[in-house]
Amino acid sequence: MRLAVTTVLAPAPPDLAAAREAAARHALPFVARGAAGLDALARAAEADAFLVLGGHSTLWVDGAEHRWNPGMGALRAKRLARGETSTREPFLAAAGIRPGDEVLDCTLGLGADALVAAEAAGARGRVVGLESSSLLAAWVEEGLRRLPLPAARRVEVRRAEHGSFLAACPERSFDVVVFDPMFRHARAQAPVFGLVRRLAERRPLEAGALARARRVARRWVVVKDGAPGWDLARLGLAPLPSVRGAKRLYARLRAA
């Protein structure tokens, strides 16, 4: 799919400069917007999709605009920043992320868990988020750059497939490695999750990836799944105890 970068209509000079910088950063063509609609602009530029940048990061694809939003991830990060205990955050309770930790999120998606991990790891920590889809990686990275939360600037987005990335990583190079393959299964969720499922890697998580992740982790590998936990069962993983009716389940493996 041919992706290009453009701006909102009548962008302010800083937004125009930022869009040009983003195009260079992602090695994508920049197309001046002018007064054109995106459909006409796409035909003229022979583009299939646009990353539309201004105050927000918007992905235009299939004739529709989708503004990037980390969903509850931003609220969860804000609560942590205000000092709320991480024990109320199921993801952090499973991952056990500490200040100064290095975290590898192998399935970045919209970046919600990576954002929470960056807040928990703090200014001395590091969070790397992997996304194999070039569209999703660029959309999410530019959204994080525009999100007014300090933790958002601490998420390093890498356009990479997790199997190859893990194979190339030195042993014990991250404290915690995280997988979230739950978007493979359609559920009653916001329409943007359908877009993520369509664009993201759809191959199921494999036992070999878990083995490589255990080699790379210093403490834990965490696997997230939606209830009732089909992927966890397929991988032979037992979910951690959770509250009755929980929509998210987590399994944890010790580092090798």
d(CA 248, CA 256): 25
CATH number at residue 227: 3.40.50.150
pLDDT at residue 237, as a whole number: 96
Amino acid letter, 63: G
pLDDT in tens, 99-112: 999 999 999 999 99
Spatial contact of 252 and 221, defined as CB atoms under 8 Å apart = yes
Shared domain check, 126 and 12: no
Shared domain check, 63 and 131: no
Shared domain check, 51 and 152: no
Q: Which domain covers residue 87, as residue numbers?
A: 72-254
pLDDT in tens, 54-89: 999 999 999 999 999 998 999 999 999 998 775 678
pLDDT in tens, 208-243: 999 999 999 999 999 999 888 989 999 999 999 988
| Residue predicted with more confidence, 163 or 245 | 163
Number of domains present in the structure of the chain: 2
* Phi–psi pair at 24, nearest 5 degrees: -65, -40
If you ran DSSP here, which 8-state letter would residue 244 be given?
A: T
Shared domain check, 39 and 140: no
d(CA 256, CA 102): 17
Q: Output 79-86 pairs: Cβ under 8 A, ≥24 positions apart.
A: 80/116, 80/119, 80/120, 81/119, 81/149, 81/150, 81/151, 86/120
pTM to 2 decimal places: 0.93
